[in-house]
Amino acid sequence: MSNLSVEAQESHYYSEFQHNLLQGLNRRGRTSSKIKVVGNIDTFTLKTIHSNYDCIAENLKVYPTVTIYPRNYKLEGGFGGFYYADKNHIKIVDHFYIISMLAQEMRHAYQYIYFPDMYFNTSYQSVSGYLNCDVERDARAYAQDYCTIKEYWEEAKYCAQTERDFELVIQYKKLATEVGLDEQYFKHKPQKACLVSRTYHLEQESVSYLNKKYKQTEQRSVNNKKIRTLSEYVGGVVIAIVMVMYIMYWIGNLR
């Protein structure tokens, strides 16, 4: 069975895979500037998070910002982590198995940035539908594969057990609350599928570029109009002054 982490690495060497800057939101940067901790995390854990962020980021060519919250913090829906595509940002709650959670959310960044057609073509309105959708299965599988390739055996075992529990929820043999998820959240915030192309982000960049050029053209037009108005005003003042001087000269000659 293939390993998604290995596949991602190989795709950089054997395909035309290119790093997508996502209009500046997906730039490389120092890990310390990418990860923010709310509260306290011991030095060893923080170093482990940083080193794994670097590995996953280079593996997937994604560089989201991450905020890590203390263990008593609650994200909506009962999530342990959540990826905000519009900001390329991850919120994650500190956990004993935080590396797999980080890998899973960074895989969502990878889906959104490089496979938007798959990412947006997702719909669910229940915990079962959420757990069973392609993007979630892929992200969970990547997290387990990453922990396996890094030899985090205990965490990989945890991922496998969690997947078995999720399968029971998908089959309605286990309650959502038993895996920490809130069924009401998904009913109130259903996800609707949207069809976009694989080149969605390139198209968005083109639209953004055209809008920027249009605004620049408009601004130049406004500035030119102001300059013309000012020129006309100055020209009128100069003519008025010349006429006044001519009249005064004419009056002086009459005397």
| CA–CA gap between residue 231 and residue 96 (Å, rounded) | 70
DSSP per-residue string spanning 167-221: HHHHTTSS-GGGGT--HHHHHHS-B------TTHHHHHHHHHHHHHHHHHHHHHH
In terms of pLDDT, which residue wins out, 249 or 186?
A: 186
pTM of the model: 0.79
* Residue with more model confidence, 73 or 16: 73
The answer to whether 123 touches 191, Cβ cutoff 8 Å, is yes
Tokens of 67: 């905020």
pLDDT at 160 over 70: yes
pLDDT tens column, 89-134: 999 999 999 999 999 999 999 999 999 999 999 999 999 999 999 9
Q: Helix or strand or coil: residue 89?
A: strand
pLDDT grade for 239, boundaries at 50, 70 and 90: confident
Q: Give mean pLDDT, residues 187-198.
A: 93
Measured distance CA(34)–CA(53) in Å, rounded:
9
Q: List Cα–Cα distances, 174 to 46, 110, 127, 164, in angstroms.
A: 34, 30, 11, 11
Residue 129 exposure: Cα atoms within 13 Å on the Cβ side: 14
Q: Pairing relation of β-strands 35-37 and 65-69?
A: parallel
Burial class of residue 198 in the structure, from the number of CB atoms within 10 Å of its CB (0-12 exposed, 13-18 middle, 19+ buried): exposed
Q: Quick one: average pLDDT of 207-229?
A: 61
pLDDT at 17: 63
Q: What is the mean pLDDT of residues 151-172?
A: 97
d(CA 132, CA 127): 8
Q: Which residue has the tokens 């055209």?
A: 210
Contact (CB, 8 A) for 67 and 90: yes
In this structure, of 4-8, 66-70, 82-86, 102-106, the range with the lowest mean pLDDT score is 4-8
pLDDT single digits (tens) 16-65: 567 888 889 999 999 999 999 999 999 999 999 999 999 999 999 999 99
Q: Does the pLDDT of residue 249 top 90, yes or no?
A: no
Phi-psi region of 172 (alpha: psi -120 to 50; beta: other; left: phi over 0): left
- Classified as helix, coil or strand, 35 is strand
Distances (CA, A) of 25 to 92, 160, 161, 168: 19, 32, 34, 37
Is the pLDDT confidence value at 87 over 90? Answer: yes
Please state the rounded mean pLDDT for residues 183-208: 86
